[in-house]
Copies of this chain bind each other. A is one copy, B any other.
């Protein structure tokens, strides 16, 4: 499994992804699932991947190769005119890779599927955040749905829904994502540290700060331990249920 989140704020977009890949529980590895592309001063694009690792690596390699050998007829993601066109290119590449496996007769009911989160900004346009499906089509984040999750999304969703605020600082957003990742990691063995993050600042048109939270990271420990205590305190602060008088059992 995997867990990646892209979250749109008024001041930019924050991305975070885990690095665990597994095939069964006895074959686990660490692979980067976040990839950035930039033309400093002109565009910054971040892609996060979930799903079949061979598929996502092929997609990223194709996108990288093509961006080094652009042709006017088929612009690559470093030359596409808008984030919408970038998402279309990435979606088409994803569909192409999956279809290639299928043609080889390797049908395994979705085994080669992958889902991507793509976000960034190109000069002249607004920052955009997309979720790209295995079929190559995609949806865009907006005011009502300002973040996208892929992979093991459920454990970490309630806190995102409750604590998200479009005005929050980048520092608070990374804290929020770490709490969401911590809840997921505690519940699912197939999501694990290290965590990669990237903070894109609106209007900068270049990659922002990029970092990795490693196993044993002191701030992550503070959040992980502190969140348990904070949750228990929050829980204790709510009024207890008042047991009604003994009722007859329903039949």
Please count how many residues in chain A sit with their CB below 8 Å of the partner chain's CB atoms: 56
Residue-by-residue, is A210-226 near B (CB-CB < 8 Å gives 1, otherwise 0)? Answer: 11100000010011001
| A142-168 with Cβ < 8 A to chain B | 154-155, 157-159, 161-163
A187→B180 CA distance, assembly (Å) = 15
CA distance A241 to B73 in the complex (A): 45
In angstroms, Cα B178 to Cα A174, docked, is 29
CB pair A223 B247 closer than 8 Å: no
Does A249 interact with chain B (Cβ within 8 Å)? Answer: yes
**Which residues A18-46 have CB closer than 8 A to chain B?**
32, 36, 38
Segment among A95-103, A116-124, A227-235 that sits at the interface with chain B: A227-235
Contact B170–A243 (Cβ < 8 Å): yes
Residue pair B240, A187 in contact (C-beta under 8 Å): no
Measured CB to CB, the nearest residue on chain B to A188 is B154
Q: Which residues of B contact A178 (CB under 8 A)?
A: 241
Residues of B within 8 A of A161 (CB): 186-187
- With A157-B187, A176-B235, A235-B175 as contacts: A38 and B241 at CB distance below 8 Å: no
| CA–CA, A183 and B234, complex, Å | 14
Identity of the chain B residue whose Cβ is nearest the Cβ of A182 in the assembled complex: B158
The reply to whether A234 and B230 form a contact with Cβ atoms under 8 Å apart is yes
Assembly CA distance A211 to B162 (angstroms) = 28
A239 within 8 A of B: yes
**Are A211 and B158 in contact, with the CB atoms below 8 A?**
no
CB-based contact A171/B222 at 8 Å: no
**A209 x B240 contact (CB < 8 A):** no
The answer to whether A175 touches B241 (Cβ under 8 A) is yes
Whether a CB of chain B sits under 8 angstroms from the CB of A207 is yes
Q: Which of B211, B230, B235, B237 contacts A244 (CB 8 A)?
A: B211
A228 to B237 alpha-carbon distance, docked (Å): 12
Say yes or no: A38 contacts B169, CB within 8 Å: no
Q: Do A38 and B219 touch (CB < 8 A)?
A: no
Q: In the complex, are the beta carbons of A162 and B247 less than 8 A apart?
A: no
- Whether A250 sits at the interface, judged by CB under 8 Å, is yes
